[in-house]
Amino acid sequence: MRQPFEPSPAPGDPDPGAAGGADAAERAAVEQPDESDRARQSRTSRPRALILLWAIAVVVIVVDQATKAWALAALDGQDRVALVGRALGLVLVRNPGAAFSFATGQTWLLSLVAIAVSLIIIRVSRRLASASWAIALGLVLGGAVGNLIDRMVRAPGVLRGHVIDFIDYGGYFVGNVADIAIVAAAGGIVVLSLGGWEIDGTRATAAQEDAGSSRRRRERRSTSHRARRERS
């Protein structure tokens, strides 16, 4: 059977196949999302991240102060209450130092440090767009404010008040809920930092990814421009 005759294009006419390829390249240059777009889509919105940060902080503060009030009412004047043998127990301690009874005698300095940390977190939170960082910073803020409240309102005076500790870790140190939040946050911050995650939800390699994405966009646009010139 004889095939239908298809005239070949004249020397000056554009190649239909090249035109179709150029159109496809042009559509790919416009429609294909790059890595930076996907990274932006994976971030948490800043309002949500701020809400999460403050929610975590408020929960830590409320639980910390509630458990301290309970400890004052239930453990004052009592012997150590064993929870897990000698490894974990409850005993009331009025601590003039830092978390887990460290830096005893430097209460006023620790109070100023807690105030500074809280202000830094509030300032940094303006760039916050990461749920993980929101949780970590919320734990730090809640823990710092929880112990700062004790130092502000308890005896012997403002900025010198003793922090209420009641969780005994095998006789090595005694802490509270605020201390637990601070230590958990420190671990989370280390993990996030080692993973390259930034407070704004990007990663440390984002600049390299953006550079690669820009290069690929330029290549696609260059291909599209060459195809247009071939058609003209």
**Catalytic one of 64, 150, 168, 179:** 179
pLDDT of residue 154: 95
* Nearest CA among 75, 60, 202 for reference residue 127: 202
For residue 177, what are its two tokens?
A: 């809920």
Distance separating alpha carbons of residues 15 and 35, to the nearest angstrom: 33
| Class of residue 145 by CB neighbours under 10 A (exposed 0-12, middle 13-18, buried 19+) | buried
Number of neighbours of residue 10 by Cβ within 10 angstroms:
7
pLDDT of residue 221: 76
Please tell me whether the overall predicted TM-score, pTM, comes out greater than 0.75 for this model: no
**CB contact at 8 A, 179 and 143:** yes
Distance separating alpha carbons of residues 101 and 103, to the nearest angstrom: 7
Q: What are φ and ψ of residue 82, in 5° steps?
A: -80, 130
**Catalytic one of 64, 150, 165, 168:** 165
pLDDT of residue 41: 41
3-state per-residue secondary structure call for 27-42: HHHHHCCCHHHHHHHH
One digit per residue, the tens of pLDDT, for the chain of length 232 reads 555 555 555 555 555 554 455 455 455 544 554 444 444 444 679 999 999 999 999 999 999 999 999 999 999 999 999 999 999 999 999 998 765 556 666 788 889 999 999 999 999 999 999 999 999 999 999 999 999 999 999 999 998 999 999 999 999 999 999 999 999 999 999 999 999 999 999 987 655 555 556 777 777 777 777 767 766 6
| Class of residue 161 by CB neighbours under 10 A (exposed 0-12, middle 13-18, buried 19+) | buried
Return the percent helix, strand and coil in the chain, to nearest 5. Answer: 60, 10, 30
Residue 15 designated active-site? no
Distance separating alpha carbons of residues 149 and 161, to the nearest angstrom: 9
Give the up-direction half-sphere exposure of residue 79: CA atoms within 13 A in the CB hemisphere.
1
3-state per-residue secondary structure call for 148-215: HHHHHHCCCCCCCCCEEEEEECCCCCEECHHHHHHHHHHHHHHHHHHCCECCCCCECCHHHHHHHHHH
Distance separating alpha carbons of residues 19 and 26, to the nearest angstrom: 10
Residue 79 designated active-site? no
